[in-house]
Chain A
Amino acid sequence: MGRPGLIEIAIVVMAGLNVVMILLTVAVKVARSLRESWLKARRSRIESALDDFLLAGEVRPELRRLRARELDVLAATMIEYLTVLRGSERERLLGLAVELGLVKRYAGWLSSQRRWRRARAAENLGYLGGSDSVGGLAKLLSDRDETVRAVAARALARIGTQEAAQALAQTLNDPSDLTRLRVAENLERIGPLAAPSLIDLLSSEERRSPILAARVLGNLRLLEAGPALEAAARTGTNVDLRAQATLALGKTGDPEYVPVLLEAAKDEEWPVRAQAANALRMIGEVSTIPTLKNLMADREWWVRVNAARALANFGAAGERALVDILEGEDRFARERAAATLEAQGITRRMVDDLASPGERGERARHVIRAMVKTGSTRHLRRILNDMPEGDNRRVLKKILAENNEL
């Protein structure tokens, strides 16, 4: 037999490479199937042992003899149990995690060189670690990997102590938008315990953290945050901070802050005025209707929209204010009022009352006439086309005809 030629070499090399790649692909699938079977079997045994522990308080010897990989399965199973368990059973399970060395194992992993190991450790300690893990997890909030930082933030939120909140609040200025966002939502999850740290942040010199702190405090709707939010709304140098603090005051629902909000409604920056309108809607104090009517004539569209929505939320008094605006001088305000009455379904309700006797019918006819005068008749014409024959339809047709809108 002679030496192999080029063709033979080409065939052998190419076929060889392709066969190796195909075998690798098949091997991956086989390995995955085997791993899944192994996991299923291990989980089943571990679940049974944990059930025994919870029912009889006995730790099966096999739980103490688990190998390293099996310990991860044990941790994952325990975490599933912890998400549904409450009270003493939960405490016992957490005690078992310490006893079996899980907490120590993952605490050691927190300083691993491998980032996924650090992330896994943080994730598991969030469930199993308790307040003793806060220090280690807080260090991970400045980890070089964004995912690790986010997992640590989540873990601290799960632990939920004041120390955890304090550590989290310090990272509201993280360079990653996603981490900041996650820290904020985790602080919200911790709840009132996070308030002191967040209130401190409102006066921070940093750019981003006070804004997020105001937002979280707003979502927590804590009355105790009111004075600090008031100060931020009045004196904040950043527009976004003033806007967020104004909105947060509205979310407290406390009428005590109405004067601050009325002041914010005159702010020279439109985002603050827009949030002042939203905040006034949330507090719902009727005495603020004149201010909202003024905001309806604001030069910025979003301020007018928010003010109109706020008025629509004030019930009969707000509707009256919107109708007044319909009869006013400002064209933009008139159009906005008409659009709001339409969007809130008030126009449709009025049309259904057109032929009603007494004050109700009179008021409905008054509102519809005012709308027609603003020129906002397209919606009314559509209602006319869709509604059945009857007195209401007849009156609407008459009003439209009087104004040559048919």
Chain B
Amino acid sequence: MSFNQFILGANYFVLGYFLLINGVYALLYFISFFEIADYTRREIFSGFSELFTSNYAPPVSVVVPAYNEEATIAASVRSFLTLRYPLHEVVVVNDGSRDGTLDVLKREFDLWEYDRPTRLQLQTAPIRGIYASTTERLIVVDKENGGKADALNAGICTAQYPLVCCLDADIILEEDALLKAARPAIEYGDVAAVGGIVRVANGCEVDAGRIVEIKTPRRALPNLQVVEYLRAFLAGRTGWSKINALLIISGAFGLFRKRDLIAAGGYSLGTVGEDMELVTRMHHVLRENNRKYRIVFVPDPVAWTEVPATLRVLRRQRDRWHRGLLDTLVRHRKMLFNPRYGIVGLFAMPYYFLFELLGPVIELLGYIAFVAGLLLGILNARFALAFFLVAVGLGALLSVAAVFLEELRLQRYPSWRDMVKLILYGIAENFGYRQLNTLWRVMAIFSFLRRNTDWGSMERRGFEQAKPPETTPKREYEEVKTSRDSE
């Protein structure tokens, strides 16, 4: 094969790949459209106020890992304690913080040493002590540092209720988010895990741990991520959930049936994508045990998080997400194209492998082949340009369709200005932002091959409001993963 033929072949390959991936996206959007419609109609008759006052709803343990959260932990815990739910406890795991996180908790919540036995059914670093509040349903586990997954495992073991909600310490939950997330698990005994939507809090006004005014961010980079999150959560995850092939529940906000979580072995240590790895492992284990189960996504219980506002932090985040994806696929490679794992093995895993993992590589190859083909004169320039326009046009269409879905069903952004902004950013992201993400994700594959297991660090700027801006650099401990299934 000559070089010219290779370049031409590469271009045709990219074209075929492009048609296939967009076909899958169209299918997911189609499913999501009807699924969200059904969900919103159901909401009208949900009777949530009755559920809230019910004596019969199963109680939930909210598990919150905390590492050096001295400045914000008291406010966060208070906001979790005041969630609308008939009966819930909050389990904070102090993961060997080097600041005064534990002291703040002791002082603010009047903790005393607790002697309730804890069955350590999952592997964790040594626990130094367990405390309970005399005034609130709050348990604090003090343990040696072992990382986020380790802390979550300790919290899960300590949780006393059958449903466990794992949260990031600095996530902002809407008041009824727990009630809405728990509903599918209450409704059907076979629901093993529930994921909720995570939205971008940058630009919103926050007071006492609650969002009081929803607004789009002022800066461009977070706005691009707002559209990205909408696409990932509303179109992507809703569709995957409908066919019971959801492979990721955000580490920032997920609810699990404790029994199934422990059966799967809890969060895995030594991975940077512990949330995706957990959900994939739950599929793996539950299917191997021939269990009838469902892992679902609900588009309404909302958690808000601050997203990176600088390219440097965003690059690190995307690098870590892609390494996490690759790590999960390597760990569970047995499931890939394996009919034993049903739709997960035959559709979801191949999708993540072919489109999410290799997608950036093929996209980058496409750009190179495109330029090379034009330079060598072996590509029909008009055809190539038409293809480029279609690629960009479809990218914009998918983003605008996500904004449409949001506007049609959920309407979280009430102002016209925000809607127009989101549409414009949905178009703009195809010029530069998308290509940058592609490059970072390709680099992440090399980073993984060099066995890089760093979390990187996350700088948060704080929300607009009463809360003082937070400047302490942290480990990237409380981030959310989304866009690996958005592109």
Query: Which of A9-17, A55-63, A94-102, A364-372 forms part of the interface with chain B?
Result: A9-17
Asked if A398 CB lies within 8 Å of chain B CBs, one says no
Query: In the bound complex, do residue A18 and residue B42 qualify as a contact, i.e. CB atoms below 8 Å apart?
Result: no
Q: Which of A11, A17, A177, A335 contacts B186 (CB 8 A)?
A: A177
Chain A residues, CB < 8 A from B382: 5-7
Question: Which residues of chain A are near B302, meaning CB under 8 Å?
Answer: none
B393 touching A10, Cβ below 8 Å: yes
Q: Does A342 contact B (CB under 8 A)?
A: yes
0 or 1 for each of B115-135: is its CB under 8 Å from A? (1 = yes): 111000000000000000010
Q: Given known contacts A178-B186, A185-B54, is B397 in contact with A15 (CB within 8 Å)?
A: no
Q: Find the A residue at minimum CB distance from B396.
A: A18
Assuming the A-B contacts A10-B393, A151-B45, are A25 and B186 also in contact, with contact meaning beta carbons closer than 8 angstroms in the complex?
Answer: no
Contact B55 A219 (CB under 8 A): yes
Question: Complex Cα distance A30/B392, Å?
Answer: 28
Given known A-B contacts A14-B390, A185-B50, A150 and B45 have beta carbons under 8 A apart? yes
Per the bound structure, the CA–CA distance linking A48 and B396 in Å amounts to 49
Contact check: which of B56, B117, B186, B188 meets A184 at CB < 8 Å?
B56
The number of chain A residues with a CB under 8 A from chain B is 49
- Main SS of chain B's interface residues? helix
CB of B162, distance to nearest CB on chain A (Å): 11
- B372 at interface by CB-CB < 8 Å: no
A231 vs chain B, min Cβ distance (A): 23
* B240 → A minimal CB distance (Å): 22
Q: Which of B45, B387, B390, B407 contacts A28 (CB 8 A)?
A: B407
Interface status of B18 (Cβ within 8 A of chain A): no
Q: Do B50 and A343 touch (CB < 8 A)?
A: no
Bound Cα distance A188, B56 (Å): 11
Are the CB atoms of A119 and B407 closer together than 8 Å?
no
The minimal Cβ–Cβ distance linking A334 to chain B, given in whole angstroms, is 12
Contact B393 A32 (CB under 8 A): no
A7 contacts B386, C-beta separation under 8 Å: yes
Stretch of B196-204, B261-269, B398-406 at the chain-chain interface:
B398-406
- Check A406 for interface membership: any CB of B closer than 8 A: no
CB pair B385–A7 under 8 Å, yes or no, is yes
Total chain B interface residues with beta-carbon distance under 8 A: 46
Kindly state whether residue B427 has any CB partner on chain A within 8 Å. Answer: yes
CB distance from A177 to the nearest CB of B (A): 6
When C-beta atoms are compared, the residue in chain B nearest to A345 turns out to be B134
Q: Nearest residue in A to B185 (C-beta to C-beta)?
A: A177
Q: Quick one: which of A25, A146, A339 contacts B115, CB cutoff 8 A?
A: A339
In the complex, whether B3 has a CB less than 8 A from a CB of chain A is no
Contact B400 A150 (CB under 8 A): no
Q: Is the CB of A146 within 8 A of B187?
A: yes
Of the candidates B115, B134, B389, the one whose C-beta lies within 8 Å of that of A10 is: B389
Choose among A6, A21, A188 the residue that contacts B386 (Cβ–Cβ < 8 A): A6
| A378 at interface, CB cutoff 8 A | yes
Given A28-B407, A29-B419, A176-B188, check contact A14 B397 (CB 8 Å): yes
User: Which residue of A is nearest B186, CB measured?
Assistant: A178
* Interface contact A379-B112, CB-CB below 8 Å: yes
Q: In the complex, which of the residues A6, A219, A305 contacts B383, with contact meaning CB atoms closer than 8 Å?
A: A6
- Secondary structure of the A side of the interface? helix
B residues in contact with A336, CB < 8 Å = 115
User: Which residue of chain A lies nearest to B116 when distances are taken between CB atoms in the complex?
Assistant: A301
Interface string of B134-166 (1 = CB under 8 A from A): 100000000000000000000000000000000
Shortest CB-to-CB span from A11 to chain B, Å, is: 6
* Least Cβ–Cβ distance between B484 and chain A, in angstroms: 24
As a 0/1 sequence over residues 103 to 142 of chain A, the CB contacts with chain B under 8 angstroms (1 = contact) are: 0000000000000100110010000000000000000000
Q: Kindly state the separation between the CA atoms of A393 and B403 in the bound complex, as whole angstroms.
A: 66
Query: Knowing A25-B419, A32-B411, A151-B45 touch, does A10 contact B390 (C-beta < 8 A)?
Result: yes
Does any Cβ of A come within 8 Å of B57's Cβ? yes
A18 touches B393 (CB 8 A): yes
Q: Assess the B393–A177 pair: CB atoms within 8 A.
A: no
B187 touches A178 (CB 8 A): yes
Q: Residue of B at shortest CB range from A188?
A: B55
CB-based nearest B residue for A181 = B56
Q: Verify B407–A29 contact, CB threshold 8 A.
A: yes
Partner of A182, one of B47, B115, B396, B416: B47
* Chain A 119-173 residues near chain B, CB threshold 8 A: 119-120, 123, 146-147, 150-151, 154
Q: A24 near B: Cβ within 8 Å?
A: yes
Q: How far is the CA of A25 from the CA of B387 in the complex (A)?
A: 26
Chain B residue with the shortest CB-CB distance to A218:
B55
CB atoms of A25 and B56 under 8 A apart: no
Annotate A211-224 by CB proximity to B: 1 below 8 A, 0 otherwise: 01001000100000
Assuming the A-B contacts A6-B386, A25-B423, A154-B50, are A147 and B45 also in contact, with contact meaning beta carbons closer than 8 angstroms in the complex? yes
Q: Report if A22 contacts B (CB, 8 A).
A: yes
A25 near B393 with CB under 8 A, answer: no
- Indicate if the CB atoms of A176 and B187 lie closer than 8 Å: yes
Contacts of A119 in B (CB 8 A): 44-45
State in angstroms the CA–CA spacing of A335 and B408 once bound together.
59
Q: Taking the nearest CB of chain B, how far is it from the CB of A191, in angstroms?
A: 14
Is B450 on the interface with A (CB-CB < 8 A)?
no
Mark each residue of chain B from 168 to 190: 1 if its CB lies under 8 Å from any CB of chain A, else 0.
00000000000000010011110
- Contact mask A237-276 → B, CB, 8 Å, 1/0? 0000000000000000000000000000000000000000
- CB < 8 Å neighbour of B47 from A28, A150, A177: A150
In whole angstroms, what is the CA distance A385 to B485 when docked?
55
Task: Flag if A147 contacts B42 (CB, 8 Å).
Answer: yes
A1-53 residues with Cβ-Cβ distance < 8 A to B are: 5-7, 9-11, 13-15, 17-18, 21-22, 24-26, 28-29, 32
A7, B389: Cβ atoms closer than 8 Å: yes
Q: In whole Å, how far is B296's beta carbon from the nearest beta carbon of chain A? A: 14
Q: B407 is contacted by which of A25, A154, A212, A219 (Cβ under 8 Å)?
A: A25
Residues of A close to B112: CB separation below 8 A: 342-343, 379
CB of A346, distance to nearest CB on chain B (Å) = 13
Min CB–CB distance B100 → chain A (angstroms): 17
The interface residues of chain B lying within 8 Å CB-to-CB of A21 are 397, 400-401, 404
Tell me the minimal C-beta distance from B34 to chain A in angstroms: 14
Judge whether A181 and B186 touch: CB under 8 Å.
yes
Closest chain B residue to A116, Cβ basis: B41
Q: How far is the CA of A177 from the CA of B57 in the complex (A)?
A: 9
CB distance from A23 to the nearest CB of B (A): 10
Given contacts A185-B56, A339-B115, contact A151 B47 (CB under 8 A): yes
B390 neighbours in A (Cβ, 8 Å): 10, 13-14
Q: CA–CA, A337 to B385, complex, Å?
A: 80
Taking the complex as formed, is B394 at the interface, i.e. its CB lies under 8 A from any CB of chain A? yes
Docked-complex contact B54 and A181, CB < 8 angstroms: yes
Q: Does B213 sit at the interface, judged by CB under 8 A?
A: no
Cross-chain contact B50 with A182 (CB below 8 angstroms): yes
CB contacts (< 8 Å) of B50 on chain A: these are 154, 182, 185
Closest to B383 in A: A6
- Encode contact with A along B416-436: 1 for CB under 8 Å, 0 otherwise: 100100010001000000000
Could you tell me if A18 and B427 are in contact, using CB atoms closer than 8 angstroms? yes
A177 pairs with B400, CB closer than 8 A: no
CA distance A301 to B47 in the complex (A): 37
Q: Are B400 and A9 in contact (CB under 8 A)?
A: no
User: Given the complex, which residues of A lie within 8 Å of B134, measured CB to CB?
Assistant: 343, 345
- In the complex, A251 Cα to B134 Cα: how many Å? 25
How distant is the Cα of A15 from the Cα of B386 in the complex, in angstroms? 12
Contact A14–B389 (Cβ < 8 Å): yes
Residue on B nearest A180 in the bound complex, by CB: B56
A6-B385, A17-B393 are known; give 7 further A-B pairs, CB within 8 A.
A14-B389, A14-B397, A28-B407, A147-B45, A178-B186, A182-B47, A305-B116
23 interchain pairs (CB within 8 A)?
Answer: A5-B386, A7-B385, A9-B386, A10-B393, A14-B390, A14-B392, A14-B394, A21-B397, A22-B423, A28-B408, A29-B407, A119-B44, A150-B45, A154-B47, A176-B187, A182-B54, A182-B56, A184-B56, A185-B50, A185-B54, A335-B115, A339-B115, A343-B134
